[in-house]
Amino acid sequence: MVKFKNELERRIFEIAQRVSDDEVSVEHNKVLSIEIATSLEVASFVGAPKKEIDVITAGFRTCPDLKVLISCKDYRDSAEPADVQEWSAVIKTMNKYSGASKYLGLVVCPSGFTSGCEPWASSYNLGVIPPLKGKKLRFTEATCDQMFERFLVALGKRLQFPHQEIFEAPQFYEFVYQLTEAFEGRDVSAKQYGERYRLMGTGWVSSFPELVRMFMGKGIQEIDVTAAGINIRFSDNLTFRMVGKLIWFGTNDGGLGGQPVPITCEKNFSGQPCSMEFLKSLVLGQKMTSAGDWGDRFEFGLTDDLILAIEPARLQVYRTRNPVDQNLL
Amino acid sequence: MTDRPVLINSKNERVDVDELIERCRSNPNRILADDEVGLVVYVGDMDIYAVSGLGHPATGTPSSDKGGHWVQKVNQVSVSRFGSNVRRQIGSVVKTLSADSVFVVRDGNSLLKVKAKDLKPGMTLHTGEKVYW
């Protein structure tokens, strides 16, 4: 029966166990004989040269001589440079006296790290999760867990290639940073757009900017409306789909499903009724030049100065060419 | 996808990121991560160099000098799915940058990583270029 000192330790252990094929252990109050502080890197140590630590050790069957020693800091506030310095000394000691085995160090502190930690972590080749930033940021525990799992899975693959350089500062620090820094963008996007944008096929959270990048310059080929939603096929086998307030997009996944249903179609900004055939005759073949999301209404700017607006129960087309009254549809 | 790095090989030829990723996909172990956050591939043995920073302070032209500060051999290439662009003047050049681009700036006697969106007037990159706005 494995005992954990806190919830963070339990979560990290379970992720490591899942990723590392059970090549994982947790030890509490493990006694290390650490060098007496005679050099700069351990100068912050005070007290006896013996240090008790709590450590999760993760290994890989494909690389049995390498272990990742993980320190879980379940703090209310950000970790301080002393926490990083301490773990640096532990890793240094372990590498010095461990014979053939090599160790890499990682500190996980969901409440983050103060900015002063970065020089120590990079200089001593220590990974930190969440990644250090130029400003103070808070990630959720769930995001920190995902960061750790992403890093550990990637390291397992990375070790199947030549990896001697990963022991040279700041290569391992950089590796961890590279695997974790992009989570900020995802979390910011999820906060900004909620569940509105999803990628077809994977169901991954997406964003308005990603949609625009994917569809810019692509031509509209067909519009289908069924009881399930509105499906707009674009060139390059791309599909935009509005299902209620949700927008799914990406490579065409084969169809919307559901029985075809009529939908309200309007022309001009004032919203005069028109037929679906009329609307299609204007927009099919036109290429996307811009886009806008008004929350309950998504608009594609198209060539020929057209705008195609999509709402869950209405389609509208209008021309933006001036003067407006002389360019009505 | 965003944050496309500028890559070259040892012959100073531009390497297309999409083509590189497709080459990597032939060996699944090279795909270190491929999820909703983005893609990270191992390229350490593929003769790939990243052009970092902003290039020449006056012209913005990426340096092809591997011995200089602007070109660095890379082991992993990371492509993030999330990001936005910002405009910054660094040195004499105004650039459109991915907000998530990471720059190394001087901070006293140490170096700090700062994202493009967090660059502030008065900061100095490790290459010596000053951030004006």
What is the per-residue pLDDT across A108-125, written as a single tens digit (0 to 9) for each?
A: 999 999 878 888 898 899
* Bond from prior residue into A323 cis (ω within 30 degrees of 0): yes
Task: List the 183-222 stretch of A: residues with Cβ below 8 A of B.
Answer: 183-186, 188-189, 199, 202, 204-207, 209-210, 213
3-state secondary structure of A56: strand
Q: What is the pLDDT along chain B (133 residues), one digit of tens a residue?
A: 345 677 888 888 889 988 999 999 999 999 999 998 999 999 999 999 887 555 554 454 555 554 444 577 889 998 888 765 566 778 877 666 666 677 888 888 777 777 777 788 888 988 888 888 7
Residue A191 makes CB contacts below 8 A (sequence gap 6+) with: none
Nearest chain B residue (CA) to A115: B112
3-state secondary structure B64-124: CCCCCCCEEECCEEEEECCCCEEEEEECCEEEEEECCCEEEEEECCEEEEEEHHHCCCCCE
Q: Beta strands of chain A (E only): which ranges?
A: 24-33, 50-60, 63-72, 102-108, 127-129, 197-199, 220-226, 229-234, 238-243, 246-251, 264-267, 272-273, 288-293, 298-302, 306-311, 314-319
Distance of alpha carbon B32 from the chain centroid = 19
Cβ distance of B76 and A135 shorter than 8 Å: no
Alpha carbon of B12: minimum distance to chain A alpha carbons (Å): 24
What's at A5, amino acid-wise? Answer: K
Residue B30 makes CB contacts below 8 A (sequence gap 6+) with: A157, B24, B41, B42, B43
- Nearest Cα neighbor of B105 from A77, A133, A19 is A133
Cβ distance of A213 and B1 shorter than 8 Å: yes
- Cα angle: A324, vertex A232, A262; to 5 degrees: 80
Of B32, B84, B113, the CB nearest to A154: B32
Q: Does the beta carbon of B40 lie under 8 angstroms from any beta carbon of chain A?
A: yes
User: What are the tokens at B123?
Assistant: 């900061």
- Specify the length of chain B in residues: 133
What is the per-residue pLDDT across A236-295, written as a single tens digit (0 to 9) for each?
A: 999 999 999 999 999 988 777 889 999 999 999 899 999 999 999 999 999 999 998 888
Which letter, b or e, does each residue of A237-257 get, where b requires 16 or more Cβ atoms within 10 Å of its Cβ?
ebbbbbeeeebbbbebeeebe
Q: Does the beta carbon of B62 lie under 8 angstroms from any beta carbon of chain A?
A: no
DSSP A292-319: EE-SS-EEEEETTTEEEEEETTEEEEEE
Pairs across A and B, CB distance < 8 A: 96
For chain A, counts of helices (H) and of strands (E):
8, 16
Alpha carbon of B121: minimum distance to chain A alpha carbons (Å): 14
Cβ distance of A153 and B33 shorter than 8 Å: yes
What is the per-residue pLDDT across B70-94, written as a single tens digit (0 to 9) for each?
A: 577 889 998 888 765 566 778 877 6
Compute the distance between CA of residue A14 and CA of residue A12 in angstroms, rounded to an integer: 5
* Bond from prior residue into A170 cis (ω within 30 degrees of 0): yes
What is the per-residue pLDDT across A6-64, written as a single tens digit (0 to 9) for each?
A: 899 999 999 999 998 767 877 776 665 544 344 333 333 334 445 556 788 888 888 88
- Positive or negative, the CA dihedral B66, B67, B69, B75 is positive
Q: Does the beta carbon of B75 lie under 8 angstroms from any beta carbon of chain A?
A: yes
Q: Which of these ranges, A153-167, A182-196, A224-238, B75-89, has the smallest mean pLDDT?
A: B75-89
Whether residue A236 contacts residue A303, with contact meaning beta carbons closer than 8 Å, is answered with: no
ipTM for this model: 0.76
What is the per-residue pLDDT across A292-322, written as a single tens digit (0 to 9) for each?
A: 888 889 999 999 999 999 999 999 999 988 8
Residues of chain A in contact with residue B34, where contact means CB-CB under 8 angstroms, are: none
Task: List the 107-146 stretch of A: residues with Cβ below 8 A of B.
Answer: 115, 118-119, 122, 132-135
Cβ distance of B29 and A206 shorter than 8 Å: no
pTM over 0.80: no
pLDDT of residue A35: 46
Residues of chain A in contact with residue B75, where contact means CB-CB under 8 angstroms, are: 165, 171, 175
Q: Does the beta carbon of A179 lie under 8 angstroms from any beta carbon of chain B?
A: yes
Whether residue B98 contacts residue B3, with contact meaning beta carbons closer than 8 Å, is answered with: yes
Phi-psi map region of A99: left, alpha, beta (phi>0 left; psi -120 to 50 alpha): left
Compute the distance between CA of residue A25 and CA of residue A57 in angstroms, rounded to an integer: 5
Nearest chain A residue (CA) to B109: A119
